[in-house]
Chains A and B, each alone.
Chain A
Amino acid sequence: MEYKAFVDEALEKFKSLPEETDELYKRYFVAMPLQEMAEKISVSKAGEKPEQLIKSNGEALRRKFDAVFWSGGETISDSAKYITVSPIESSNLENRMTKSGDDKLAAFLNAYSRRAVQIDIPKGVEAKINLMFINTTSPLPIQIIVNVAENASLQMFEYYSSGATERSLLGSMHEVKVGKYANAEINVLHNEDKNTYVVGWSKAKIEEKSNLKINFVYNGGTFTRSRNRVDVAGLEANGEVNELIVSAGEQKMDVASNVINSAKSSHAILESKAVMMDKSVCVLKGYASITENAAESRSYVNERGIILDKDAHIDSIPSMSIGNSDVKATHSSATAPIDEESIFYLMSRGASELEAKKMVVSGFITGMIGKIDDDIVREIVASIINEKVTTRNYGFVPKITTESMWLAGSVQRSSSIFKGHYKYRGE
């Protein structure tokens, strides 16, 4: 298929697929202005390199980025390995474009992204890759295709930021494949500004005896719509999706994820925690499915929310579909306002009300932050969330300090999560 035909098909699909039909979403969310963004992308010229934004973000994060992508271009470090970018002219682009299925978001990204970032980690290689994505007033839709070959190992950090003076969009579409006996950790931190809509579509497949952990942190953007699907497709493979949502002001977060056990003795975890402040709204859907051939597999879905202010709102909906009786599967959901008695207890020991709330929030999310194996990313996430709870602002990087790390004390490993959470589902 020619690239043009591929894009035409995606465009057609994007136009023909219905807007969100779910009554719950309709109740809380305005429609994502995808059409408006599509028009902006069509008429926009290649944007200037946002030098200052890149510099300030890079310095604040104290991390060397291997590649930076913005609306009009990219910079790839000379020392960066395993990263290639297919531009619009590339004859190979069609092979790298991901398959959208019937997902409107994916169709949008296929139709309008003009670049595919390809990360190929060769067999047996261990790699660390740091990527920064910045949208300006020109929207940035981009595809990220990750292939971790057999026996390889990847630790990747994706940092999303923005500098938009009017309504804009940052969209990323992931397709991840983890080969046999390989390991991958992908940390995705969204910290876009108040003018930015965030669109995410991710699809991952994990092969035999391999491990994939994706830690999503949704902190920025006025409106986020994210759809994630992880297929634990190999014998004894492990897939883990962790979602940390921190929402303030009038932010709206719409996150729906699906983990699938489709092989024998596969393990899947989908864990989400949401911290809701001010008038923010979150709809959180976690869906685990176990296919008929996934005997002796384990699946765990857990969604929890904490509400700091009376006008904040969360709908948490975990669900499961189980096609084999010889599995262990659990799902749970719990949301509550921040406990007044806990705040009084901490205040009685000298903490101000804000400090007390921050302590309770940090306690609530510490396990999630502890799941990020990359020490510096853990520090960055802790600092950004600490700042968000303190100031309710987002879209910039505060001073990163280890002071904020009082919250990331306990590291919870996947293997320990299952302990005590099993419910045998027999005939």
Chain B
Amino acid sequence: MDLEIKNLHVSIDDKEIVKGVNLSVKHGEFHVVMGPNGSGKSTLAKAIMGHPRLKITQGEIIVDGVNIADLTADKRAKLGIFLQFQNPLEIEGVGFVNFLHTSKRSVTKGDVDVNQFMGEVDSWTKKLKITNGIVGRSLNQGFSGGEKKKAEILQLALLKPKLAILDEPDSGLDIDAIKVVAENINEIGEKQEMGLVVITHYNRILSYMKPKFVHVMVDGKIVAEGSTELIEKLEKEGYDSFVGK
């Protein structure tokens, strides 16, 4: 899947947050978007996924040559786009396994063999070192911050999207969990040959990953692009050197 974002402007309640972003993610490419708090990274991610409150005032989101800006989130999910939420929602009474199974059936548009699916759930649960029986609970209810993030990566592994946008997969994780999550993202990404866009503030998770492209987003715009040397620059100079560019 190829994603092409052209001059994207996104507003919420008439306030413009994303102010003309251009971004190209080709099939299987690994991109990182970094930027200070409030720079519009999460809004960009939600706009790609189709959040109904966000208004695209200008520009296009093109997937495999087709502008998807008018598609609802479920249709984008069925195309193969996945958003890992920064703050996954807790939903009372919706069993986590039922949710996983329903989601899998939705995105694959067909029946899912329950036994095989549960085998996959079990396997990825172990790989992600998910404990405390969260699989048997209601969706994200009572999960710790780290468990929520791992549960999102579990969904990524099971739903097998073509393009995944991961919004701060490292926030709230301890140093061991960051490594586990990063290694699993690497494995899933390679197996599925999926395009990956990882949004993060910090370079710790990136020390376990090999992104090809790095973008720096400040005040709703991408102000710098390059390869991993940008990460080193950010580490040394912080975001200040990019502000006002």
Contact with B along A356-367 (1 / 0, CB 8 A): 100110111111
One of B77, B78, B94, B159 near A359 (C-beta < 8 A): B94
B102 in the interface (beta carbon within 8 A): yes
- B91 adjacent to A363 (CB under 8 Å): yes
Contact with A along B77-117 (1 / 0, CB 8 A): 11000110100110111110011001101110000000000
Name the prevailing secondary structure of the A interface residues: helix
One of B50, B91, B103, B106 near A342 (C-beta < 8 A): B91
Residue ID in chain B nearest A350 by CB atoms: B106
User: Which chain B residues border A342 with CB–CB below 8 Å?
Assistant: 89, 91
Known contacts: A344-B52, A345-B91, A365-B93. The answer to whether A351 contacts B72 by CB under 8 A is no
Question: Chain B nearest CB: distance from A257 CB in Å?
Answer: 23
From B76, B93, B94, name the one whose CB has the most chain A CB atoms within 10 angstroms. B93
User: Which chain B residues border A355 with CB–CB below 8 Å?
Assistant: 74, 102, 106
B138 in the interface (beta carbon within 8 A): yes
- B74 adjacent to A350 (CB under 8 Å): yes
A427 in the interface (beta carbon within 8 A): no
Interface size counted on chain B using CB atoms at 8 A: 33
Known contacts: A340-B52, A345-B85, A345-B88. The answer to whether A350 contacts B103 by CB under 8 A is yes
A407 in the interface (beta carbon within 8 A): yes
Question: Chain A nearest CB: distance from B210 CB in Å?
Answer: 27
Question: Chain A nearest CB: distance from B47 CB in Å?
Answer: 12
Q: How far is the CA of A341 from the CA of B95 in the complex (A)?
A: 18
Q: How far is the CA of A186 from the CA of B72 in the complex (A)?
A: 44
Q: How far is the CA of A345 from the CA of B77 in the complex (A)?
A: 11
B51 in the interface (beta carbon within 8 A): yes
Contact with A along B24-52 (1 / 0, CB 8 A): 00000000000000000000001001111
Question: Chain A nearest CB: distance from B50 CB in Å?
Answer: 8
Q: How far is the CA of A5 from the CA of B85 in the complex (A)?
A: 70
Question: Chain B nearest CB: distance from A360 CB in Å?
Answer: 6
User: Which chain A residues border B50 with CB–CB below 8 Å?
Assistant: 347-348
A16 in the interface (beta carbon within 8 A): no
Task: List the 6 shortest-distance A-B pairs measured between CB atoms, nearest first.
Answer: A350-B106, A363-B93, A349-B103, A347-B73, A366-B93, A363-B94
Given contacts A351-B106, A364-B92, A406-B102, 9 further A-B contacts (CB under 8 A): A344-B49, A346-B91, A347-B50, A348-B49, A355-B102, A360-B94, A364-B93, A409-B93, A410-B95
Contact residues of B with A, CB < 8 Å?
46, 49-53, 72-74, 76-78, 82-83, 85, 88-89, 91-95, 98-99, 102-103, 105-107, 138-139, 155, 159
**Can you list 10 contacts pairing A with B, beta carbon distance less than 8 Å?**
A339-B89, A345-B91, A346-B91, A350-B103, A353-B72, A360-B94, A362-B93, A363-B91, A363-B93, A365-B93
Contact residues of A with B, CB < 8 Å?
339-342, 344-353, 355-356, 359-360, 362-367, 406-407, 409-410
